[in-house]
Structure 1
Amino acid sequence: MPVDPSTATLLIDGDWRTGAATFEVLDPATLEVVGHAADAGPEEALTALDAACAAFPAWRATSAEERATALRAGAAAIRAAAGTLAAIMTAENGKPLHEARGEVMGSARMLDWAAEEGRRAGGRVTPQAAGGPGLVLRAPVGPALAITPWNFPASMLVRKVGLALAAGCPVIVKPAEQTPLIGTELVRIIAEAGGLPAGVLQSITTTRPAEVVGALLADTRLRKVSFTGSTEVGLSLIRSTDTHLRRTSLELGGHSPAIVLEDADLPAAAAAVSAAKFANAGQSCIAVNRLFVHRTVYEEFLPLLLERVAALRVGHGADEGTTLGPLIDFAGLDKVERHVADAVKRGAAVAAGGRRWSPPEGGARAGLGGAFYEPTVLTGADDTMLISSEETFGPVLPVYVFDDEDEAIERANTTDYGLAAYVFGSALARLWRAADRLDFGIVAVNDPAPVRPELPFGGMKNSGQEREGGSEGIDAYLETKSISMKL
């Protein structure tokens, strides 16, 4: 029976396969079906693990230069297909097309970085001892599982895949069920462009992640898991087995503060805060969730921020001029509305937005039925509100006033999360002090986009463990072996 390429989203042991069932993929802006994916179960997942285990000895023995060449070929192919990949991402994720293209191009840079990191992941020779030399070797940890999110379905996938392959680990990708098409296409491009052997890179799409991932976690041959998603699910992965340990990288939720000091460049800070908050409709683990503004500049800063927010254009991500797309689903919209209602009940004022968004009557997109919400700014926020302790994951920005630097940093740190924080100011000593004292894995100083391939990405506290990216990223896929020699 010929394979239907529209549903052959399972790459297992070098073959594209369909499953016994399929599921629909929806455009979150229109709720229309934009594709179908194979709905795999535990059996397919374990078959993929069999293939990964079989491929591991040869892939770990492949030279770092050969692996790097394959990854660079994948990066070049991603760049060549950037337009198509961006259109796929917008169709199933909803983000504006220019954001999707930027994410795709950033993914190619991550793959290039991973290629070079694999060539630098060496060990060392220790100082001569009485009995002889000592060696520290780095060895790939083994077959890995990459569980990727829907909000950044290209960059998160490629970051994990690139580092795993560069280290010598075969990897099975499980894309989010909301965005399986972009994940499938990226896996295809990387596997084909790099000429990867069967079993080295595989993909499993499913609407039953608990069953599929559970079967893999129960198998001791799976030696590494890298997960990006909610803190609740991340903690469940840590608790998933009580008979054996495995390496687990977690990039979880956030509750990012931004601090505007009294010596900040206010127009630049307003532009940066708007960008860091409303990209991807606020559905980002590093989106600004709490904005602290010094009392002496609050009255000047707020109109600048509101001007930026007013310039945002809500609509379908594929339409020219759109800068804010829909939320991924109505569960996300319900949470946004609950947070806004709670804040208003507790004394906050809606300075901008505050409602569901509908397209203008009679327009070309009058039928949009997705979970849209206006870009929203709340003033008069305080620390008792739900939005002050829970991650909203939507286009709502509460603004708080503070009186001194110590107060701002203390309030910013009062959270169980520690992924990203932002600080805006001019005096280098104060910025350095703030960056040092903020308990977050990523601190952006006057920078709305603190994600680069050369910087490690990850959080403290309940925002995760281990790092992706930077020279530290490949460590998550390598074991350290000490060799003591007596000659």
Structure 2
Amino acid sequence: MNSVIPSYLMDEWWTPASGEGSPILDASTGEIVATANVSGIDIPGAIGYARTVGQAALGALTFHERALKLKELAQYLNGRREELYAISAKTGATSGDSMVDIDGGIGVLFTFSSKGRRELPNSNIVVDGPPEVLSKDGSFLGQHIYTRLPGVAVQINAFNFPVWGMLEKFAPAFLAGVPTIVKPATPTVYLAEAAVRMMAGSGILPEGSLQLISGSARDLIDHLDYRDLVGFTGSASTANALRSHPNVVHGGVRFTGETDSLNAAILGPDAVVGTPEFDAYIKSLVTEMTVKAGQKCTSIRRAIVPATIVDEVIRAAGARIRERIVVGDPRAEGVTMGALVSREQKDEVKARVRELVAAGGEIVLGSLDEPEVRRADGSTGTAPDGAFMQPVLLHFADALVAAAHTIEAFGPVSSVIGYDTVEEAVALAALGGGSLVATVATHDPDVARTVIEGIAAHHGRTLILDRDDARSSTGHGSPVPHLIHGGPGRAGGGEELGGIRSVFHHMQRTAVQGSPAMLTAVTGQWFAGAPRNLDGPHPFRNSLAELRIGDAVASPLREVTLDDITAFANSTGDTFYAHTNEEAAAANPFFPGIVAHGYLLVSWAAGLFVDPEPGPVLANYGLENLRFITPVSPGDSIRVTLTAKRITPRETDDYGEVCWDAIIHNQNDEIVATYDVLTLVAKEA
């Protein structure tokens, strides 16, 4: 692999015609793995290709079609994980580290594929919330919608997760319909390139949807504008430099950052030695210190524990490290913690530890000496050509030392800090200036509530760890694609992942105003006041191929009697006084006397609109947004109007979902109830 890492631009692999490359070394042996060189790379051409070819290809697909491609891609990569694992070992990653990066990234693709088909329409426009009625007669409405950004999503990634870091940004952008340009960090670019090579070679991706820059691209943002967005992961200093770029400040480029984070883990005062919470806490602390050799933006940097048990925490952490952690080449049998990504990174981490010591921190576990490591051939000894480091735990006797809350050693390093009260623990956590994640290990609900209320605004994610979830928890340091990954302040202010929220991050929310008919035409969803088709066959006789938005049925009136109400009360057991006691019902400020059960009315409405014979409608699978508005008294009558509101074919099945707008009126044309009926309907009759 010790050749120039190619870039993937405009659906072709590209390497420079000349120029010296920057060597990239194996983290464990110091051998040259590859070189990085992008001299003469056509960045404007790549951006233009994404905005034209990529946009057109992705725009030709619906959300569901793109979601299925994500699943197909995940399955393809899943079958080639071992190839990526072998390459990943060169970065210093153990098989466990590689699983977090590679399998975690593939899992993101699966998750977004599933959520995209469940939570998004099979179209290219998302209706956001209910309409706003802007005129008395309902002829003028406002509706928020989401449409995809017309530019390119540029991701600038850190070295620690070259696969997961790429796929966590790629998946929501692709699902939204926005093409991606990936700019990985140079020390591990060869692993990102291997993953992109697989993705490009799979034949699954639409043209122009993914491009790769395998080296420095300092002028990348120079060529972006308000149509585009940048997702950055790395140091706060680099993020601030990029955020101050004129095209971001003045040109409207959307920029999000995920940066330095001195994440805290608080041990509750109830979680004393011998409790499941104490054991879970120690396990989490050691895991976060040693997975990826501590090179995780979510690692625990500050262990905030009761001052009375600081020594017990240090002893327990030390015992677990001595029992569980073997430092060495990931390709050696039994190694559980690999190297840092490079010797430069090792020197950087050691320098930060020395700053922490100079500020008052005491190294209570490990040292900065070259560790004894297990080499790939099974022998042991020091390996100065590698980037190995011992796990280091510091203790700050003075909990308020600024360095403990501002200096991050991005490696297998954490600091133990004591507190006296829960309120003090909350204040210490907040001194991090904004973090990605915090844990509180407690089985006391009052402690959990106090801590979360105090720290939530300082964090993007919080974990409550106790005996009930310790075995099932995904852990302090494992972001999941369903939930927000990001954080305020020092953590960068971004919100990567977060399920469909991150898809909307790649879309523009726009207010559209117009008549119900025009909004129906634009969004593909029927709005009250738009034309209905009441003249054709009963809409339940129409398959998805025949059904159209606005197809409707209107029922005749049906009278509701006191006997009907009494029979329903007796048969269901719902003898609430409003349905059975005239005097008590009349005393209720909402009712004129005995009234019909709301569920009686909904049940009768189904009988009024249903077409009972077998046909394309396969099943009723629920109601949504049910509201009872006007009570119905004995002697009143009801009628129902059912209108096809939204049609969502399933790409992989021979049926789809139809959402029907249901309105129940009384004999005075007053609205009694509104709701949506959900049915499964065959695609063909």
TM-score of the alignment, normalized to the shorter chain, above 0.5: yes
Match of 2:95 among 94, 97, 110: 97
Matches within 5 A, 1:276-425: 276-311=288-323, 312-359=325-372, 364=379, 366=381, 367=383, 369-382=385-398, 383-384=400-401, 386-425=403-442
SS of 1:468 mapped into structure 2: strand
Secondary structure in structure 2 of the residue aligned to 1:419: strand
Q: CA contact under 8 A between 1:224 and 1:248: conserved in structure 2?
A: yes
Q: For residue 377 of structure 1, give the secondary structure of its aligned residue in structure 2.
A: strand
**Higher relative contact order structure (alpha carbons within 8 Å, sequence separation ≥ 6):** 1
Match of 2:8 in 1: 11
8 Å Cα contact 2:353-2:409 kept in structure 1: no
What is the correspondence of 1:74-89 to structure 2 with a 5 Å cutoff? Answer: 74-89=73-88
SS of the equivalent of 2:510 reads: strand
How far apart are the structure 2 equivalents of 1:223 and 1:257? 34
Given candidates 257, 268, 274, the residue that maps to 2:280 is: 268
What corresponds to 2:154 in structure 1?
Answer: 145
The answer as to 2:105 corresponding to 1:107 is yes
After the TM superposition, which of the residue ranges 464-473 and 451-460 deviates more from structure 2?
Answer: 464-473
Cα 1:346/1:53, change in 2 over 3 Å: closer
2:241 is aligned with 1:248: no
Task: Give the number of aligned pairs.
Answer: 478
Q: Quote the offset at 1:41 in angstroms.
A: 4.3
Query: 2: distance between equivalents of 1:237 and 1:173?
Result: 16
Structure 1 contact 340–354 (Cα < 8 Å) conserved = no
Asked whether the equivalents of residues 83 and 101 of structure 1 are also in contact (C-alpha less than 8 Å), the reply is: no
Residues 89 and 175 (structure 1), Cα distance of their counterparts in 2 relative to 1, 3 Å cut: same
Q: 1:219 to 1:347 in 2, by over 3 A?
A: closer
Indicate the larger mover: 147-156 or 184-193. 184-193
- Name 1:444's counterpart in structure 2: 463
Q: Distance in 1 between matches of 2:227 and 2:80?
A: 32
| Cα shift readout 1:423-482 (whole Å, capped 9, x = no counterpart) | 111112311321221111121222434411211100111212331212321122111111
Matched residue SS, 1:401: strand
Paired letter, 1:254: S
More deviation in 268-277 or 122-131?
A: 122-131
CA distance in 2, matches of 1:123, 1:117: 16
Of the two, which has the highest radius of gyration?
2
Deviation of 1:117 after TM superposition, in Å, equals 4.1
Indicate whether 1:210 and 2:213 are aligned: no
User: What is the alpha-carbon distance in structure 1 between the residues aligned to residue 482 and residue 203 of structure 2?
Assistant: 22
Cα deviation code 1:299-352 (max 9, x no counterpart): 433321111122311111222221222222334333333343344445543322
Within the candidate set 114, 117, 136, 1:116 is matched to 114
Paired residues of 1:73 and 1:194 also in contact (CA < 8 A): no
SS of equivalent residue, structure 2 residue 515? coil
5+ residue gaps in structure 1?
none
2:464 and 2:374 mapped to 1: Cα distance? 43
**1:98-117 superposed Cα distances (whole Å, 9 cap, x missing partner):** 21123211111101222234
Give the C-alpha shift of residue 252 in structure 1: 1.0
Determine whether 1:157 maps to 2:166. Answer: yes
Deviations 1:155-185 (A, max 9, x none): 1100111111110001111111111111112
Q: Determine which of 128, 131, 140 is the counterpart of 1:132.
A: 140
Aligned to 2:50: 52
* Secondary structure of the corresponding residue to residue 139 of structure 1: strand
Is the alpha carbon distance of 1:465 and 1:36 closer, same or farther for their aligned partners in structure 2, counting shifts above 3 Å? same
Question: What does the per-residue CA deviation read over 1:12-60, in whole Å, with 9 as the maximum and x for residues that have no partner?
Answer: 11111222344432111211012344x2246422221121012213312
Report how far residue 288 of structure 1 moved.
0.9
Taking structure 1 as the reference length, the TM-score comes to 0.91
Cα contact 1:26–1:34 (8 A) shared by 2: yes
Deviation at 1:419, TM superposition (A): 1.7
Q: Tell me: CA distance 1:42–1:465, structure 2 relative to 1, closer, same or farther (3 Å).
A: farther
Secondary structure of residue in 1 paired with 2:241: helix
Could you tell which deviates more after superposition, 171-180 or 61-70?
Answer: 61-70
The answer for the alignment partner of 2:180 in structure 1 is 171
Check conservation: 1:171, 1:201, Cα contact below 8 A. yes
Deviates more, 1:129-138 or 1:81-90: 129-138
Q: Secondary structure at the match of 2:486?
A: coil
Q: Give yes or no for contact 2:310–2:416 (8 Å, CA) kept in 1.
A: no
Write the letter of the residue equivalent to 1:412: A
| Cα distance in 1 between the residues matched to 2:217 and 2:369 | 31
Aligned to 1:462: 490
Offset of residue 407 of structure 1? 0.5
Deviation at 1:5, TM superposition (A): 11
Higher strand proportion: 2
**Distance (whole Å) between structure 1 residues aligned to residue 264 and residue 226 of structure 2:** 40
Distance of 2:75 and 2:438 partners within structure 1: 33
Aligned-partner Cα distance in 1 for 2:362–2:512: 64
